[in-house]
Amino acid sequence: MSMFFYMEFLMKEIVYHGTNSVFDHFDLDYCGTINENAANSKLGFFFGSSLVKKNNDCPEFLHHFGGYIIKAELDISDLYVMPIEEFSDIHHKGFDDDDNRNVPFWLKKRKEFLDKGFKVIAIKEFNKVDGRDDNISMYIVL
pTM summary value: 0.80
What pLDDT, on a 0 to 100 scale, did the predictor assign at position 121?
A: 93
Task: Give the SS3 label for residue 80.
Answer: strand
Task: Give the SS3 label for residue 132.
Answer: coil
What pLDDT, on a 0 to 100 scale, did the predictor assign at position 14?
A: 87
Mean pLDDT, 10 residues at a time, the chain of 142 residues: 47 86 85 67 86 70 83 88 88 64 83 94 75 75 91
Cβ distance 37 to 114 under 8 Å? no
